[in-house]
Amino acid sequence: MTIFKIFKGDICSLAVDAIVNAANNSLLGGGGVDGAIHRAAGPALLDYCRDLDGCETGDAKLSPSFLLPANYVIHTVGPIWRGGYENEAALLASCYQRCVELARQQGIQSLAFPAISCGVYAYPHEVATRIAIDALSASIASSGNRNTIEEITLVAYSDQMLAHWQAALTFSRSEY
Ligand code: AR6
């Protein structure tokens, strides 16, 4: 069984097994949560990421966390919102699914996600959070007894995103 939690604040402060980074295809750092994670992890993270050879949109790659309190960082690349005509929903769902797969392969029990694509990449927040919860629930369900993840923390960096995570979680629970 996996418990969903919501946390408002800086994902870098969380002492979970892995935090997810909303990165770009280069995996060489950027602004937003990506910049915050690289600053908090220290320059060794960038050195490590140079050898990961980038990441496709919708995919994910694992790294150590260096100076962060978490044990690992899972870097994923969300889609840039282009009006919904460029397969954005499937790519965003794929980010969450690939992160769960990598976490499971690593035996990770606690995992924290930012709202992937909801900053610079401009994905509409309400839809993005619903896609996230659906994709996470489906990934965990399909893992069956291979699931290792006991706790997923959804991180909001603003009151508005906090409300979206809360609404998406409530909506998904009312569906079953
Ligand atoms: N902790 C938790 N959430 C945060 C933090 C933080 N420290 N900082 C920002 N957020 P964004 P994207 C929230 O822009 O849209 C980067 O430059 C933020 O408020 O970080 O996927 C990359 O290199 C928003 O809700 O990621 C890429 O080029 C969410 O995290 C590009 O931005 C995601 O916002 C990726 O854009």
Spatial separation of the C-alpha atoms in residues 78 and 33, rounded to whole Å: 13
In tens, the pLDDT along 11-40 reads 999 999 999 999 999 999 999 999 999 999
In tens, the pLDDT along 44-65 reads 999 999 999 999 999 999 999 9
Q: Is the pTM of this model over 0.95?
A: yes
pLDDT in tens, the chain (176 residues): 899 999 999 999 999 999 999 999 999 999 999 999 999 999 999 999 999 999 999 999 999 999 999 999 999 999 999 999 999 999 999 999 999 999 999 999 999 999 999 999 999 999 999 999 999 999 999 989 999 999 999 999 999 999 999 999 998 876 54
**How is residue 141 written in tokens?**
């369900």
Kindly give the number of the ligand 1 atom that is closest to the alpha carbon of 125: 25
Q: Which of 34, 47, 51, 159 is catalytic?
A: 34
CA of 144 to the centre of ligand 1 (A): 31
Kindly give the number of the ligand 1 atom that is closest to the alpha carbon of 121: 15
CA of 162 to the centre of ligand 1 (A): 14
Specify which residues 153 forms β-bridges with: 5, 112
Cβ–Cβ contacts within 10 Å for residue 126, how many? 13
pLDDT value at residue 174: 66
Kindly give the number of the ligand 1 atom that is closest to the alpha carbon of 115: 29
CA of 104 to the centre of ligand 1 (A): 24
Range 33-71 burial, b when 16+ CB lie within 10 A, else e: bbebbbebbeeebeeebeeeebbebbbbbbbebbebebe
**Ligand 1, CB cutoff 6 Å, lining residues:** 10-12, 22-24, 30-34, 36, 78, 114-121, 155, 157-158, 161
53 is catalytic: no
Kindly give the number of the ligand 1 atom that is closest to the alpha carbon of 122: 15
Rg from Cα positions in the chain: 15
Select from 9, 21, 8 the least CA-distant residue to 99.
Answer: 21
First to last CA, the chain: 15
Q: In a mutational test of the pocket of ligand 1, which residue from 19, 59, 157 has the highest number of ligand atoms less than 8 Å from its CB?
A: 157
pLDDT value at residue 176: 46
pLDDT value at residue 175: 56
Burial label, 5 (beta-carbon count in 10 A; 0-12, 13-18, 19+): middle
**How is residue 138 written in tokens?**
């489906």
